[in-house]
Amino acid sequence: MKTETAIASATPLKKNQFSKKIKKQKTLVFMSIPFIIYVFIFNYLPLSGWLMAFQKYRPGKALLKQEWAGLFQFRLLFQDETFLRVLRNTLCMSLINLILGFITAIGLAILLNEVKSMFGKKLVQTISYLPHFLSWIIVCGIIVDVLSPETGIINQLLLKMNIIDAPINFFAEAKYFWGIVGISNIWKETGWNSIIYLSAITAISPELYEAASIDGANRLQKIRHIVLPGLKSTIFILLIMNIGNILNAGFEVQYILGNGLIQKVSQTIDIYVLKYGISMNNFSLATAAGIFKSVISILLIVIANKAAKAAGEEQLF
């Protein structure tokens, strides 16, 4: 009886505390209303379109008056060899981008932190950030020029160093494509991705560095025993978020640099949706592919978050 009475008295108390917090922060609540409405209209209302994945959708009819097909589109999706191939391509390119992106961003942040000259640090930061603001169309144009068999600097260097006997057409051989995509993403995004790691490093207490110096630690030992442990929580949070985007390998770079000779390795799920779904008016198949991406992304985030919790590390939620 005492327990029930305590629970009953605690419930109104929690409600009163909640109402008091709302009253104190009513200005913030009112400011957030337009954003909540925006998210609801543009992020949640369009989810009604997911019904198309369970229909044989044809434009011109109301959504609820379409012919229902159950899981037909999903069965069609997983029986399609092309979809399984683009799924492989997407996963492989995402893993390459994820691994190389983490290593290079963390490495650049650590190196920038070790630069003592403020002018030199700001100069390197500015140069490394600039590619992020370039359109993928411009970046792909630069990549094509750099890798050109006739005038590309890469082929010219390889020829002069006698590494190759004849120029390589990098966009005609499938074995080079994933590497080109990975290096392109690193060049464009490493500087920008390093910002959050550099911020986390600057938050580390200077007293730790002073104590390490007194103990005779050199720079490498400070990086190993102070910087990397200080970055661990940030790395885990970003890793969980990036694992959720594992099926988002990109669209622009693969679409622009891809061609008929290498389409078996260049097409991603997004290109598949455009080519075999939207372009062929098969909106139901395109929606089914989109739902598959969303569901897998949610599952991966939940699994990664639980794995981090089991390991006793930082979690996203």
pTM for the structure as a whole: 0.83
Token digits for 117? 């000259």
Q: Calculate what percentage of the chain has a pLDDT beyond 70.
A: 95
Query: What does the alpha-carbon distance between residue 117 and residue 290 come to, in Å, rounded to a whole number?
Result: 48
Predicted pLDDT of residue 65: 85
CB atoms within 10 A of CB 181: 25
pLDDT in tens, 120-153: 888 988 899 999 999 999 999 999 999 999 889 9
Residues 255 and 146 in one domain: yes
Count CA within 13 A, CB hemisphere, residue 121: 13
Residues 155 and 223 in one domain: yes
- Give a yes or no: residue 316 inside a domain: no
- Give a yes or no: residue 315 inside a domain: no
Q: At what angle do helices 2-24 and 26-39 cross, to 10 degrees?
A: 90
Query: What does the alpha-carbon distance between residue 246 and residue 94 come to, in Å, rounded to a whole number?
Result: 5
Categorize the per-residue pLDDT at 7 as very low, low, confident or very high, splitting at 50, 70 and 90: very low
Residues 225 and 300 in one domain: yes
Domains in the chain, number? 2
Residues with Cβ within 8 Å of residue 250, at least 6 apart in sequence: 93, 97, 181, 185, 268, 270
- Per-residue burial over 128-162, b if 16 or more Cβ lie within 10 Å, else e, is beebeeeebeebbeebeeebbeeebeebeebeeee
Query: What does the alpha-carbon distance between residue 143 and residue 153 come to, in Å, rounded to a whole number?
Result: 10
CATH number of the domain that residue 306 is part of:
1.10.3720.10
- Give a yes or no: residue 138 inside a domain: yes
- Per-residue burial over 44-82, b if 16 or more Cβ lie within 10 Å, else e, is eeeeeeeebbbbebeeeeeeeebeebeebbbeebeebee
Residues 31 and 138 in one domain: no
- Give the residue from 68, 83, 115 where a domain finishes: 68
Look at the block and give the residue holding tokens 């099926």. Answer: 247
Q: What is the mean pLDDT of residues 165-178?
A: 92
Strands 55-56 and 67-68, sheet pairing: antiparallel
Categorize the per-residue pLDDT at 188 as very low, low, confident or very high, splitting at 50, 70 and 90: very high
Residues 169 and 250 in one domain: yes
Predicted pLDDT of residue 109: 93
- Give a yes or no: residue 187 inside a domain: yes
Residues with Cβ within 8 Å of residue 111, at least 6 apart in sequence: none
Predicted pLDDT of residue 18: 73
Q: Calculate what percentage of the chain has a pLDDT beyond 90.
A: 51
Q: Give the residue with greater pLDDT, 184 vs 24.
A: 184
- Give a yes or no: residue 190 inside a domain: yes
Q: Does the structure show a pLDDT above 80 at 2? A: no
Q: 55 pairs with which residues across the strands?
A: 68
Average pLDDT, the chain: 88
Residue 61: phi and psi, rounded to 5, are -105, 155
Q: Does the structure show a pLDDT above 50 at 3? A: no
Query: What does the alpha-carbon distance between residue 222 and residue 213 come to, in Å, rounded to a whole number?
Result: 8
Host domain of residue 188: 74-310
Q: What is the mean pLDDT of residues 160-189?
A: 92
Residues 101 and 222 in one domain: yes
Query: What does the alpha-carbon distance between residue 182 and residue 98 come to, in Å, rounded to a whole number?
Result: 9
Residues 11 and 138 in one domain: no
Residues with Cβ within 8 Å of residue 311, at least 6 apart in sequence: none
Q: Does the structure show a pLDDT above 80 at 13? A: no
Query: What does the alpha-carbon distance between residue 65 and residue 49 come to, in Å, rounded to a whole number?
Result: 13
CA angle 48, 53, 54 (to 5 degrees): 95
- Give the residue from 10, 38, 68 where a domain finishes: 68
Query: What does the alpha-carbon distance between residue 201 and residue 236 come to, in Å, rounded to a whole number?
Result: 15
- Give the residue from 53, 68, 83 where a domain finishes: 68
